[in-house]
Structure 1
Amino acid sequence: MKIERFHKDFKLNKVSFSSVDEILNYTRDFSDEIYQFLEIWFSKDDFILVKTSGSTGVPKEIKLLKVQMVNSALATGKYFDLKENTSVLLCLPIEYIAGKMMLIRALTLGWCLDVVEVNSNPLNGIQKKYDFSAMVPLQLENSINDLYKIKKLIVGGGVVSKQLQQKIKKSTCNIFATYGMTETITHIAVKKLNNLIVSPNFYQVLPNVKIYKDARSCLVINASEVSSEIVFTNDIVDLISDNQFDWLGRFDNVINSGGVKLHPERIEEKLSKIITARFFVAGVSDEKLGEKLVLVVEGKLEAIELKNVNLSKFEIPKEIYFVDAFIETKTKKIQRIKTLDLITF
Structure 2
Amino acid sequence: MNPSYNNIHPKFKFNRFHYNCLDLKELAYSLVKEGKDYEKSIGNFLMDWLDDSDSLIVHTSGSTGVPKAIALKKEHMVNSALATGAFFKMGPGTKALQCLSADHIAGKMMLVRAMVLGWEIDLVEPSSNPLQFTSKNYDFVAMVPMQVQASIPYLNQIGTLIIGGAPISPELKLDLNKVDTRIFETYGMTETITHIAVKELAKGPEDHNFKTLPDVVLSRDDRDCLVIEAPKVSDAVIVTNDVINLISPTEFQWLGRYDNVINSGGVKLIPEQLESKLSILIKSRFFVAGIPDAYLGQKLILVVEGNEDENQLSQDIKSLNTISKYEIPKEIFSVPQFVETASGKVNRADTLRLLNME
Q: TM-score range by the shorter chain?
A: over 0.9
Contact 2:4–2:116 (CA under 8 A) maintained in structure 1: no
Residue matched to 1:3: 5
How far did 1:193 drift? 1.6
Secondary structure of the corresponding residue to residue 333 of structure 1 = coil
- List gaps (5 residues or longer) in structure 1: none
Task: State the SS of the aligned residue for 2:26.
Answer: helix
The number of equivalent residue pairs is: 343
- Secondary structure of residue in 2 paired with 1:310: coil
- In the alignment, the residues of structure 1 paired with residue 264 and residue 219 of structure 2 have an alpha-carbon distance, to the nearest angstrom, of 28
Q: Select the residue among 320, 328, 343 that pairs with 1:316.
A: 328
Q: Distance in 1 between matches of 2:228 and 2:104?
A: 21
User: Which residue of structure 1 lines up, in the alignment, with residue 172 of structure 2?
Assistant: 164
Q: How does 1:244-323 map to 2 (within 5 A)?
A: 244-302=251-309, 303-304=312-313, 305-306=316-317, 307-323=319-335
2:67 is matched by which residue type in structure 1?
P
Question: CA offsets per residue over residues 112-142 of structure 1, 9 Å max, x none?
Answer: 1111111111112221111111111111111
Instruction: Give the secondary-structure state (helix, strand or coil) at the position aligned to 1:85.
Output: coil
The equivalent residue for 2:35 is none
Tell me if the contact between 2:300 and 2:329 (Cα under 8 Å) persists in the aligned partners: yes
Counterpart contact for 1:179–1:187, Cα < 8 Å:
yes
Alpha-carbon distance in 2 for matches of 1:164, 1:105: 27
Structure 2 runs not aligned, ≥5 long: 32-38
Q: What is the aligned partner in structure 2 of residue 26 from structure 1?
A: 27
1:42 Cα deviation (Å)? Answer: 1.3
Q: What TM-score, normalized by structure 2, do the two folds share?
A: 0.92
Deviation of the 1:309 alpha carbon: 4.9
Q: Which runs of 4+ in 1 moved over 6 A?
A: none
Please provide the CA RMSD for this pair: 1.5
Q: How far apart are 1:236 and its partner, in Å?
A: 0.5
Q: Counterpart of 1:128?
A: 136
Q: What's the CA shift for 1:149?
A: 1.4
CA–CA distance in 2 between the matches of 1:269 and 1:3?
Answer: 41
Amino acid at match of 1:285: P
Aligned to 1:67: 75
Deviation track 1:171-203 (CA, whole Å, cap 9, x = no partner) reads 11111111011111110000112335x643310
Match of 1:150 in 2: 158
The CA distance in 1 between the partners of 2:213 and 2:162, in whole Å, is 14
Partner of 1:201: 208
Counterpart in the other structure of 2:190: 182
Alignment partner, residue 217 of structure 2: 210
User: Residue type of the partner of 2:268?
Assistant: K
Percent identity over paired residues? 48
Residue type of the alignment partner of 2:112? I
